[in-house]
Amino acid sequence: MQLSGYFLISTVALTALATLTLCLAIVSDTWELIEFDRDRVEQVTRAHNDTHTLLWLFGGLAARVTVTRPAPHAAVPVHRHVMEVTRLRRRREVTSTDAVTDAPPASVSNVFLLPMRGGLWTLCVNLDEDQRRNLQSLGFTEANCIHYMSADVVRVEDGRADWQHRMQNLSISCALVCLIILGSSALVGLLGVVKHQISAVLITGVMYLLAATFAMFSLVIMHFKRQSKKGCGLPEVVRYVAPEYYTARVFSNGWSLEVGWLGVVLCVLTSGLWFLLSKIMRYNPLVSLISS
């Protein structure tokens, strides 16, 4: 086997690696990690000491905040008139008025501050199965994952949150285009190698360059979306986090984001190899014999 044959094998191997890497990054759900700063949470709780009670769970990994809200209306005195007729010498009527306070009870609710992991498609609670069962026993009744494309995602009437939602949809669109291009380029590249179609090999190089471009768009959008999250209530997390604790969230990159950037680099290298392969196939007919 000549050098051109080894180059063909290297191109196909790098193509498979780049495709699998980028697909893994897109379909996984660990693009970003959301945790809570313990000092900041305790600081907020102390500021609401009369209404918030903090309980750390799982060694500080999560927390439950019991919020006691006062009754929506102040207590209204209700006067009960009791007429007592006494048999005194002057036979007078005495009216006794008792002021009774009928106050509605205060409302008590639990707020769970949970570590979460998010991807392009979902936002999930980042706890294992046993910990999630313990949460349910403590009163956590929400779903473990929120799908961004679901119709029942809680919406917030806030311009910034709406911008966040649009950016999420744009990132998903770029990722879908990237997956479509990767699937199409695999078929075109296979046809070009087997049938010795140089134009198909060139198109494969262009398609992998396009896949890297759309993947980069998705990664950059997710980066700026994450940078602007802190301090605002988002549609996907408003059901989990009380407004007082928005600033206690800490956002960090997950392994999927790093794998995504690696996939972008591999796709660019793969594109270059396909361009070089088209040049080799133009002047070396042995490549067609090796591919067959």
Residue type, 61: L
Q: What is the CATH number of the domain that holds 147?
A: 1.20.140.150
Residue type, 279: K
Tell me if 214 sits within 8 A of 179, measured CB to CB. no
The answer to whether residue 155 scores a pLDDT higher than 70 is no
pLDDT at 88: 36
The answer to whether residue 50 scores a pLDDT higher than 80 is no
CA atoms within 13 A on the CB side of 53: 7
Domain that holds residue 201: 3-291
183-188-189 Cα angle (round to 5): 95
* Token pair in block for residue 129: 């199965």
Q: How many other C-beta atoms can be found within 10 angstroms of the C-beta atom of residue 174?
A: 21
**What global pTM score does this model have?**
0.73
CA atoms within 13 A on the CB side of 184: 16
pLDDT tens, position by position, 166-215 = 787 888 899 999 999 999 998 998 888 888 888 999 999 999 999 999 99
Tell me if 269 sits within 8 A of 24, measured CB to CB. no
pLDDT tens, position by position, 224-265 = 776 655 544 444 444 455 677 777 888 888 899 899 999 999
According to DSSP, the β-strands at 107-113 and 116-118 are unpaired
Counted domains in the chain: 1
